Amino acid sequence: MKRMFFLLIMFFVSILFVFSQNDPKMAVGLGPEINMNSRENFALGVVLGFNYNLASSYAVGVTIAASNNLSGISVIEPAALFRWYFLGRESGWFAQADAGGYFVFEDGEISTLFMAGLKGGLRMPFGTRFYIEPHLRVGYPFLFGIGAMAGMKF
């Protein structure tokens, strides 16, 4: 297990060096989120996202979110994304469509649902490589989520 983890880290580090010579086209981010992945109250979660800029205004990618309501319900949401930057560049205000799976772990059982949502946010660059991205999302079956991601472009 340690060897596999080490190889994955080395793979991603080598990708950073390869793409650091060009304009950044890919980005990876990680951050916290509060959402309604719970029957009552809120759930706390974390979101990992990866996207690739197709043109200056559009990006595609994947996200995976994991949430827990601290009362026995855990949710994992893998999803594909399509993003549009309003100002025609790879930062600023954006709208995003998400679609994927929704896996609920409760009382030793797994329930599977389809997930669809819309996300809006603001990607604020820090230099040419780093960014912070607050966001708000709405959709089914989670109702809403609010969070922020910090990431790196390469």
Average pLDDT, the chain: 89
Number of other residues whose CB lies within 10 A of the CB of residue 15: 13
At 150, list the tokens.
Answer: 């910090």
Residue 7 lies in a domain: no
Residue 114 lies in a domain: yes
Number of other residues whose CB lies within 10 A of the CB of residue 47: 24
pLDDT value of position 80: 98
Q: Is the whole-model pTM more than 0.85?
A: no
CATH of the domain at 52: 2.40.160.20
Chain-centroid distance of CA 30 in Å reads 7
Taking the C-alpha atoms of residue 54 and residue 25, their distance in angstroms, rounded to an integer, is 8
pLDDT value of position 128: 87
pLDDT tens-digit series, residues 8-38: 566 655 555 554 556 788 999 999 999 999 8
Taking the C-alpha atoms of residue 2 and residue 50, their distance in angstroms, rounded to an integer, is 23
Q: What stretches in the chain show pLDDT beneath 50?
A: 19
Taking the C-alpha atoms of residue 111 and residue 73, their distance in angstroms, rounded to an integer, is 11
Taking the C-alpha atoms of residue 67 and residue 53, their distance in angstroms, rounded to an integer, is 27
- Within the chain, residue ranges assigned H as helices are 2-19
Residue 51 lies in a domain: yes
Domain count of the fold of the chain: 1
Taking the C-alpha atoms of residue 47 and residue 14, their distance in angstroms, rounded to an integer, is 23
